[in-house]
């Protein structure tokens, strides 16, 4: 059993003893702690939104969370089966004090999580998250008396989400409709099975081939949208039956794209391609995290903008985007954040903008991919012993490479002329993650091995 407590929320495997897994007692404790933190932050706002993905434990967790919030005196707007970005938009749509998303994202079926949002529909910042954890540790909360109990209403926010995407000026429904795309989708039997067909139909796609679109939580393959898990849709594309394939994770904040020939577009390039489209029409700055491809920086500078790198984590990307007034940003795992809609990774926004870009260029997906800078990322790890002094290692690496461009905002990233290496301690495992990028995979591996050998 596992229970991982972090500033962005609580995740764990379902069941087990108290404190060892995500069980009803711990769900109540952390939900009550979150409600207490929100009450202190916004004492006059009495509404919290709850949405969930379709995983098997979702209904159980949903009922406990909603009941606890009502027990804390909050009115709950339960939007039921909903994507993470839909829930984020619902928070601002309801002018709520915050929201809880019940999803373990790309983790397997035994996992679930409580992802915690502020009143802007964005993840709690570091201070807010630590406060929730401290309240839960002390069990410093008090439940409402009978006359002060909250109430629950149920709403469907998917139509609102689709409406917000259609309002975006750079979503060109007419151009998409004229291209008459055939689109294949794999929604891993979660809420994408509801949301992705809805957005495709709304932007003018009539021909949709649906794989794994029944939102029953029975994942047909590993739910993380990585190439080794996407063989079914890849084979379908190879047969020539569709122009493009889209794959999402269970909560629909990550988007993977498959070319018309069955080849992977590359999860790093979801954001790069959408940014290229945005920057053609809206010059400005961009942001991604430090472990994302250099291609975004290249594309941004080609359009006359400035690129900034944030620490890893969506909350850090969003903070940096606000600081530099970025017009587009996100993460290299297929996460597109477009402020014109909202500050959250959103696969619906990503699909609508990508199809608009593809329609305007009048290209095949594989041809579009070849217009972008080409890099390869190698992902490695160093296993740690209990007595390993990670901070000392990172300080030493920084000293050894002081003549290169070094960024120590999140671990240590070394920018060489022909590539980069990023080392950071994992928050969930006793390892150092070592990501590297270069023009070829051989060169990327060589860069990583060079730094790992020093360590």
The DSSP bridge partners found for residue 258 are: 245, 264
Query: What tokens were used for 37?
Result: 């933190």
HEC sequence for 15-68: CCCCCCCECHHHHHHHHHHHHHHHHHHCCCCCEEEEEECCCCCHHHHHHHHHHH
CA distances from 86 to 51, 113, 135, 153, 386 (A): 8, 17, 28, 17, 41
Query: What tokens were used for 233?
Result: 């849709």
The residue from 105, 190, 291, 378 that is catalytic is 105
Q: Is 190 considered catalytic here? A: no
Residues acting as catalytic residues: 105
């Amino acid at each position: 059993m596992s229970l991982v407590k972090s500033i962005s929320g609580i995740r764990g495997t379902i069941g087990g003893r108290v404190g060892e897994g995500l069980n009803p007692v711990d769900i109540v404790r952390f939900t009550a702690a979150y409600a207490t933190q929100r009450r202190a932050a916004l004492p006059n706002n009495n509404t919290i939104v709850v949405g969930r993905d379709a995983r098997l434990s979702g209904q159980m967790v949903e009922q406990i969370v909603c009941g606890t919030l009502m027990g804390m005196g909050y009115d709950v707007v339960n939007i039921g089966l909903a994507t993470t970005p839909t829930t984020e938009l619902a928070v601002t749509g309801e002018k709520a004090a915050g929201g809880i998303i019940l999803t373990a994202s790309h983790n397997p079926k035994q996992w679930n999580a409580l992802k915690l949002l502020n009143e802007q529909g964005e993840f709690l910042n570091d201070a807010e998250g630590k406060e929730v954890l401290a309240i839960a540790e002390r069990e410093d909360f008090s439940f409402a008396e009978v006359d002060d109990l909250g109430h629950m209403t149920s709403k469907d926010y998917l139509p609102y989400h689709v409406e917000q995407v259609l309002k975006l000026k750079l979503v060109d429904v007419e151009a998409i409709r004229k291209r008459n795309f055939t689109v294949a989708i794999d929604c891993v039997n979660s809420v994408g099975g509801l949301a992705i067909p809805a957005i495709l139909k709304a932007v003018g796609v009539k021909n949709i081939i649906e794989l794994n679109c029944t939102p029953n939580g029975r994942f047909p393959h590993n739910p993380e949208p990585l190439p080794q898990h996407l063989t079914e849709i890849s084979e379908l594309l190879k047969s020539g039956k569709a122009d493009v394939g889209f794959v999402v994770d269970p909560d629909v904040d990550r988007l993977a794209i498959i070319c018309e020939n069955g080849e992977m577009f590359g999860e790093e390039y979801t954001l790069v391609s959408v940014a290229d489209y945005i920057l053609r029409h809206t010059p400005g700055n961009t942001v991604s995290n430090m472990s994302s491809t250099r291609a975004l920086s290249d594309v941004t500078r080609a359009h006359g903008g400035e690129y900034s790198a944030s620490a890893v984590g969506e909350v850090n990307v969003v903070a940096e985007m606000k600081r530099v007034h970025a017009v587009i940003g996100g993460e290299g795992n297929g996460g597109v954040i477009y402020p014109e809609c909202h500050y959250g990774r959103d696969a619906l926004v990503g699909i609508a903008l990508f199809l608009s870009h593809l329609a305007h260029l009048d290209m095949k997906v594989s041809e579009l991919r070849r217009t972008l800078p080409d890099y390869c990322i190698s992902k490695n790890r160093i296993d740690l012993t209990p007595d390993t002094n990670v901070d000392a290692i990172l300080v030493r690496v920084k000293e050894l490479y002081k003549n290169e461009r070094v960024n120590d905002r999140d671990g240590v990233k070394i920018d060489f002329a022909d590539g980069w290496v990023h080392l950071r301690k994992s928050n969930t495992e006793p390892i150092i993650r070592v990501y590297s990028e270069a023009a070829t995979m051989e060169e990327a591996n060589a860069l990583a091995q060079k730094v790992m050998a020093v360590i």
